[in-house]
Structure 1
Amino acid sequence: EIVIDRPTDIQQNLCADKAYDGKPALKTIVAHGYIPHVKTRGEERQEKKRNPAWKARRWVVEVSHSWFNRFRKILVRYEKLSDTYMALLHMAAAIIAYRKVGVIYG
């Protein structure tokens, strides 16, 4: 469900990874009014052959999930109360941000 109405005067683009390369997924993307931008399977491999210095990029969400998965207390949820769990998520996010700032500015 979309909470905020989309602007009608601009095109809506959707960037997706190789998992959404199939016809059913593309059909759903187009049916919802998006212009799909999906890398096909093998496209990264071909780019690597053409340019050996090229590195594949991970999606921001995947990287963020990876960072959060390093916190075992979050990965395996032992907390019964949602408030406690949310507090741990916020603390993990703060630690991740602190580490990233330290890498950039430290």
Structure 2
Amino acid sequence: MTGANVNDGKRLDEVLGAIMVKREAPLLRRSKHLCADAGYCSADNLGTIKTHGYIPHVVDRRKEADAKRRDPKKKARRWVVEVCHSWFNRFRKLLVRYEKLERSFVAFNHLAAAIIAFCKVPLDVNIIYG
């Protein structure tokens, strides 16, 4: 573990080395892609990503915004994890952890996930707010 003030790129080799996905051997070998934010765009990090057999996709928001300006039909992509964290951060009880018991905290996470899923389903009537 590292402190919050340590750059994530310093532990990239350990994180990529610890990933173990057990599955049947595929008939056709496909490329592995790794999407990351601008914090991983250094030459060392890109080399580490390539060493582990991944194709790096590292784009910062400025370049993404420039590409969007050039082609207005093209939407800027946001990383799925960041959007998910944003949705969960709207629940103050999860953002500032008040719960002492782990099971209570996990239960509130499940409840928040259910509310988020219900909000994403297009309905004529809003079930949560009436």
TM-score (normalised: structure 1): 0.81
What is the percentage of aligned positions where both structures have the same residue?
55
Task: Supply the distance in 2 between the matched residues of 1:60 and 1:41 (Cα, whole angstroms).
Answer: 14
Task: Supply the distance in 1 between the matched residues of 2:37 and 2:85 (Cα, whole angstroms).
Answer: 16
**Residue 19 (structure 2) aligns with:** 2
In structure 2, the gaps of 5 or more residues are: 1-17, 125-130
> Could you give the per-residue CA deviations for residues 13-32 of structure 1, whole angstroms, max 9, x where no partner exists?
11222222221221121122
SS of equivalent residue, structure 2 residue 98:
coil
Residue 123 of structure 2 corresponds to residue 105 of structure 1: yes
| Pairing 1:32-71 to 2, within 5 Å after superposition | 32-39=52-59, 42-71=62-91
SS of equivalent residue, structure 1 residue 14:
strand
In structure 1, the gaps of 5 or more residues are: none
SS of equivalent residue, structure 2 residue 34:
strand
SS of equivalent residue, structure 1 residue 80:
coil
Residue 114 of structure 2 corresponds to residue 83 of structure 1: no
Tell which deviates more after alignment, 84-93 or 17-26: 17-26
RMSD: 2.2
Cα 1:53/1:13, change in 2 over 3 Å: closer
Residue 129 of structure 2 corresponds to residue 93 of structure 1: no
Aligned residues: 104
Q: How big is the shift at 1:98? A: 0.8
Task: Supply the distance in 2 between the matched residues of 1:52 and 1:100 (Cα, whole angstroms).
Answer: 25
Task: Supply the distance in 2 between the matched residues of 1:72 and 1:41 (Cα, whole angstroms).
Answer: 27
Contact 1:21 1:41 in 2 (8 A): no
Task: Supply the distance in 2 between the matched residues of 1:24 and 1:62 (Cα, whole angstroms).
Answer: 24
